Chains A and B, each alone.
Chain A
Amino acid sequence: MTLKEVKEILNAEVISGDHDLNKEIKCAFAAELLSDVLALAQEGALLITGFTHSQVVYAADAANLCAILFVRSRWPNEATQQLAIQKKIPLLSTSYMMFETCGILYEYGLKTCALKVEDGKD
């Protein structure tokens, strides 16, 4: 699936990175915790999140993720957008909730991009 297809399926708006929409998305990872992104997301993943601080772009860049999709119509500020442009990480925003966003993409065949955890207890 390409980023362009993700945009169309979810009726998403492209915040930045318009010219990178042909990027192929192999898999996706959803998180509201940056520590989860750094620990579990695999390289090349599409990150689905509601988190819009600039730290989400730094974390995505550190983990070599390919794009960020914000849910619930979340929209990052100008500084975060500029950072994403500089890091060549396209940003998209959809009005769907996290659960719906993931469910729809899953239905369309997008697979998970997370490392398996052995034991999820605290």
Chain B
Amino acid sequence: MERTDNNILIHKTFHIEGGNFPNAGTISDQVKKTLKEAGFPNSIIRRIAIATFEAEMNVICYAKQGELSLFITPHSLKVVVDDEGHGILDINLAMSEGYSTADEKIRELGFGAGMGLPNIKKNTDEMILTSKFKQGTHLEFVVYLDRQETHLPFE
């Protein structure tokens, strides 16, 4: 990451249960609520909410369980997701648009188009994805607040 931001104002962690499809969307909803309460502009919240939704879906789809943490600092919004699950053999392949190993159940929910990871990248300023195949996956992404023109709550 570009800058180490040690001054954490808010830190929240959420547990995600793999395979719990009816629950999908509830974690990104909590993250959105937290950011709304903190008073961030809609445009920033939207980017994080969309990226978090896709990240949450990937844990539900491809992992046994995971934890998603939100870190709010004066300069950034950061989300870190760690899961125990299938893992990813080829990160570059997983990142390419259209690549998906989703099954029928995932497609029924309207995911599995292979656009999740590319869309996380598109909506954030930085994204890191690492994985140990058959063990788990680590994903983090950041939106920098000082790259926005809009007024921030703690200015």
Interface string of A25-61 (1 = CB under 8 A from B): 0000001111111110001000000010111111101
Q: Which residue of B lies closest to A38 (CB)?
A: B50
**Residue in A31, A39, A55, A122 whose beta carbon sits within 8 Å of that of B24 in the complex:** A55
* CB pair B115 A59 closer than 8 Å: no
- Determine the distance from Cα of A37 to Cα of B115 in the docked complex, in whole angstroms: 11
* CB pair B24 A61 closer than 8 Å: no
- Determine the distance from Cα of A35 to Cα of B29 in the docked complex, in whole angstroms: 16
Q: Which residue of B lies closest to A33 (CB)?
A: B110
A77 nearest CB across to chain B (Å): 11
A119 nearest CB across to chain B (Å): 8
A113 nearest CB across to chain B (Å): 14
- Determine the distance from Cα of A59 to Cα of B52 in the docked complex, in whole angstroms: 11
With A39-B119, A58-B25, A59-B53 as given contacts, are A34 and B111 in contact (CB-CB < 8 Å)? yes
* CB pair B112 A35 closer than 8 Å: yes
**Residue in A33, A61, A62 whose beta carbon sits within 8 Å of that of B111 in the complex:** A33
B117 nearest CB across to chain A (Å): 11
Query: A15 near B: Cβ within 8 Å?
Result: no
* CB pair A62 B115 closer than 8 Å: no
* CB pair A61 B54 closer than 8 Å: no
Query: A64 near B: Cβ within 8 Å?
Result: yes
Query: B46 near A: Cβ within 8 Å?
Result: yes
- Determine the distance from Cα of A35 to Cα of B28 in the docked complex, in whole angstroms: 14
Query: A116 near B: Cβ within 8 Å?
Result: no
With A43-B46, A55-B109 as given contacts, are A36 and B25 in contact (CB-CB < 8 Å)? no
Residues of B within 8 A of A (CB): 22, 24-26, 28-29, 32, 42, 46, 49-50, 52-54, 97-98, 109-116, 118-119, 122
Residues of A within 8 A of B (CB): 31-39, 43, 51, 53-59, 61-64, 119, 121-122
